[in-house]
Amino acid sequence: MPLATLIRRSSLPCPEVSVDQALQLLSEHYGLSGTLKALGSQQDRNFLLDTGTRRYVLKICHGAYSTTEL
C-alpha cells in the first residue's frame, strides 16, 4: 500500500457507533447479547462482548478499508 494512502487513512475519523448501536447490531445480525465494553482504538471502533459463556470482539472499521485490509 502506498505511503500516501497510509497517511491519509491514519487521519480518518473512527466510525461513530455507540454501545447501544453495537448491541443492536450484534443481536440483529448474529443473535448475540450480553455485556458490551468499548475497547480503545485509533481508527476503528472495537468492542468486547461477554455473553456469560463466551467472549467476542466486534470490530467496526471505516468504510475506506477493504475486507482484505481488515
The predicted model scores a pTM of 0.74
The answer to whether the beta carbons of residues 45 and 38 sit under 8 Å apart is yes
Handedness of CA 56, 49, 42, 9 (dihedral sign): positive
Query: Residue 2: is its pLDDT beyond 70?
Result: no
- pLDDT, tens digit, 9 for 90 and up, residues 8-58: 556 666 778 899 999 999 999 999 999 999 998 777 889 999 999 999 999
Domain residue limits, the chain: 13-60
